[in-house]
Every structure is written in structure tokens, then in C-alpha cells.
Amino acid sequence: MLLQYVVSSYTKERIHLTPLFSLEQTRPLRAPPSSQDKIPQQNSESAMAKPQVVVAPVLMSKLSANAPEFYPSGYSAYTESYEDGCEDYPTLSDYVQEFLNHLTEQPGSFETEIEQFSETLNGWVTTDDALQELVELIYQQATSIPNFSYMGARLCNYLSHHLTISPQSGNFRQLLLQRCRTEYEVKDQAAKGDEVTRKRFHAFVLFLGELYLNLEIKGTNGQVTRADILQVGLRELLNALFSNPVDDNLICAVKLLKLTGSVLEDAWKEKLKTDMQEIIQRIENVVLDANCSRDVKQMLLKLVELRSSNWGRVHATSTYREATPENDPNYFMNEPTFYTSDGVPFTAADPDYQEKYQELLEREDFFPDYEENGTDLSGAGDPYLDDIDDEMDPEIEEAYEKFCLESEHKRKQ
């Protein structure tokens, strides 16, 4: 009985120490009930009572099938929630603002997500107040974040054609133009205001320029035109900026003209107007009379130069063979530069290029070992060159003669 009690106690303790093992795994440890094994079994019990049993650690995984999805750092999880619609957003303002922030951070997603955004708005923007709120949110984003003015103008153009709501107060485009008119009416005071006021005014001016370029108006016959009212507004905004020629106003005017100058001038020319010439004349007067900084004056002069080059637009030119120094400003771009005996540089574009180049040839003895007819005067020939056949392949010779004739023809021109 004593032996059975000892074995039973040992087995229970073994099971308690290793809960992960089954009872069958502990059974081989039992000793047969014989008197010879009584004392060794007691010693074994005494030894096992000491904390010498090493239990393998059980690693509990923290992974779970119910865990949220993993997103790398910098990745916006907006798309997932956006595709679910607007159920997760308590208000229209929260939904629209998050989409605007998303476009600011990832402008490349405009094409893929704008359609779903527009469809969601059509189900949410059903009142005049909601439409007014939408216009204000987009306007504030476009004028408070400089890099969003272009994207904001594209967004406005898309919504103006795809929002179905059209209350009595006006559709999306009409309400947007009314909001811009509110800022436009205080242009003179804003141009004379403090630095903060002028900065906000400049953001509005550049956004209006983007609207003029991107806001499309479809006519009754299906033709797409730009808003003439914006064209008139930009002209008056330029007048307000030049009437107060401080540096930041002039810089804003330069940015606006670089952005819209070519389109404005083309539109004015179609109407036989000389507004752009009047603006250029006003810029020249500012450069001469205004107390602006030297850097700003350089910007204004560069703008005048840009306009003189047709706003940097390159029209289709004639083929390369017909290009001449008169009709191609880049004709001599790749020509080498030489120096006279006095160190004065000259190129093929100089009128007296031939005379200076001949003087250079006479001054520099480029071929000291050859006469004018090519006779070798160096004595013994080079053993390497002597082994080379002087005759050219007929095809190469024909191409070389053609090259010489073309070069002579260009030089005569």
C-alpha cells in the first residue's frame, strides 16, 4: 500500500508539472510493484521533487484572424473607408474634408476615385444648404493650401458637370462663381491690406486663374468654352495688383501671367483687344518707376521676355535641311567656340566668323608635317599607317562626298 501511495503521488505531481502531456505519456514512468524497487523508487521520488524538470516554453502567438488589416507607414487607408460610402462619417463636412485631404496627399488618385465621390455626393447633397457647404469647403481648401489650387479647379469642373442637384439658388458652378465674386469685390482693399490679407488675396487670384483654365462650360451646340466672366475678372485683378506695386503683389501678378498669359492673349486677340500689350506696357513702367526690389524687377523683365517669345510655345518649324540662322534661333547652338589671338571668343554666329577662323588656321600650325596638298614631310612613314589601305569603300566614299557637299552648302548660306 505504501508503494502504491508513493507511485500515485509521483504520478499526480508529474501530471501537474507537465499539463501539456497526456496521461498516457506519464504511464511508462510507473515502476512495477516489487519489493526490490521500493528503495530506488523513494530515491527517484526524492530526486524528482527537486525543481530539475525542464518544461519547454509554450509560445503563444498574438496573431488573430480578427485583427485589423496591416497598412505600411505613409499609406492612407482612406480608400477602403471611402469605398464603403459615407456611412462611417457623421456629417457631410467630415466626409468631404477627408476626401479633400486625401486628394492633397495623393493627387494621382483623382481619376480613380472622383466618380465614386460624385455619386456619394448626389445621394447626400440634397438641399441648398448642403450645396453651399460643399462649395465653401472646396473653396477654403483651394485657397488655403497653395498646392491644391489646380486640383481644386479640376474638382470644381467635374462636380459642375456631374452633380444633379440644382436648387433655385443656383447649381454648383453658379454658387462657386458667387463665392468667388464675394472675394473679388474687395480686391482693391485686399491688395492694399496687411501681409496676411494680401497672402489670402493672392491665393484667391491664383485659384481663379486655375478655374479659368480648367472650368469648362458646354454651349447649346455642345462646344466647350471658358467662362468669359473669369477672363474679365482676371484682367481687373491684374489692375489691382499693379496699382499697388509692392513685391508680393508683383510676384503674384507674374505667377498669374505665367499661368494664364498665353490663353488670355489668344482670347483677347480673337476679340481684337490689346489688353496684353497694355499689361506689358504697365509692367515696363513698374520696372522703371516702382520701388520694388531688384529681384522682382528681374522677374518682371523675364516675363516680358517670355511674352516676346510667344510664351515659350514652339510651333512646328520647317525640316532640318531648310533651317537657317534667320528662321531657327538654335541654328548655332551646337557650334564650337573659338578664340582669337587676343582671347576674344567667337562662333559661327559671328558676322566675321570666316575671317577670324582663317586667321586662326594661319596662326595655329595644326598640320606641321604636311604641305597644303597633303604631301608627307615627316620622312619615314609610320609602319602602322603604311599598312593601311588609303582607298575607301565606295559606299563610304559616296557618303563622305555627300557630307562634304552639304557642309559646303551650309557654309555658303
pLDDT digits (tens, 9 = 90+) for 140-177: 999 999 889 999 999 999 999 999 988 888 899 999 99
Distance, in Å, from the CA atom of 337 to the CA atom of 346, rounded to the nearest integer, reads 6
What was the pLDDT predicted at 249? Answer: 95
Residue 345 parent element (H or E): strand 345-346
Residue 63's CB is within 10 A of a number of other CB atoms, namely 5
What string of DSSP letters covers 90-140? SSHHHHHHHHHHHHHH-GGGHHHHHHHHHHHHHHH--SHHHHHHHHHHHHH
What was the pLDDT predicted at 251? Answer: 95
Residue 4 has which C-alpha cell? 502504491
Place of cell 534667320: 326
Q: Using pLDDT thresholds of 50, 70 and 90, give the confidence band for residue 383.
A: low
Query: Is the pLDDT assigned to residue 373 strictly greater than 80?
Result: no
Query: Is the pLDDT assigned to residue 87 strictly greater than 80?
Result: no
Query: Is the pLDDT assigned to residue 202 strictly greater than 70?
Result: yes
Query: Is the pLDDT assigned to residue 270 strictly greater than 70?
Result: yes
What was the pLDDT predicted at 264? Answer: 94
Distance, in Å, from the CA atom of 279 to the CA atom of 236, rounded to the nearest integer, reads 11
* DSSP SS3 for 362: helix
Q: pLDDT for 29-72, tens place per residue?
A: 444 444 444 444 444 444 455 555 555 566 676 777 777 766 65
Higher pLDDT, 14 or 69: 69
Q: Is the dihedral of CA 100, 106, 108, 113 positive or negative?
A: negative
Residue 275 has which C-alpha cell? 489688353
**Range name among 210-214, 271-275, 359-363 with the lowest pLDDT average:** 359-363
Query: Is the pLDDT assigned to residue 238 strictly greater than 60?
Result: yes
What was the pLDDT predicted at 305? Answer: 92
What was the pLDDT predicted at 83? Answer: 47
pTM above 0.85, yes or no: no
Distance, in Å, from the CA atom of 162 to the CA atom of 134, rounded to the nearest integer, reads 14
Which residues on neighbouring strands pair with residue 225, listed in sequence order? Answer: 217
Give the DSSP letter of residue 1. Answer: -
Q: pLDDT for 101-115, tens place per residue?
A: 999 999 999 999 999
Which residues on neighbouring strands pair with residue 384, listed in sequence order? Answer: none
Query: Is the pLDDT assigned to residue 364 strictly greater than 50?
Result: yes
What was the pLDDT predicted at 33? Answer: 46
Residue 394 parent element (H or E): helix 394-412
* pLDDT, the chain, mean: 77
Place of cell 609610320: 382
Q: Using pLDDT thresholds of 50, 70 and 90, give the confidence band for residue 397.
A: confident
What was the pLDDT predicted at 356? Answer: 73
Cβ-contact 293, 250 below 8 angstroms: no
Residue 338 parent element (H or E): strand 338-339
Cβ-contact 315, 346 below 8 angstroms: no
Mean pLDDT over 383-403 rounds to 70
Q: Using pLDDT thresholds of 50, 70 and 90, give the confidence band for residue 346.
A: low
* % of the chain with per-residue pLDDT over 90: 46
Residue 2 has which C-alpha cell? 505504501
Which residues on neighbouring strands pair with residue 376, listed in sequence order? Answer: 370
What string of DSSP letters covers 25-36? HHGGGPPPS-GG
Cβ-contact 214, 165 below 8 angstroms: no
Q: Using pLDDT thresholds of 50, 70 and 90, give the confidence band for residue 403.
A: confident
Nearest to 80 by CA among 104, 109, 108, 107: 109
Q: pLDDT for 285-318, tens place per residue?
A: 999 887 889 999 999 999 999 999 999 887 654 4
Give the DSSP letter of residue 51. Answer: S
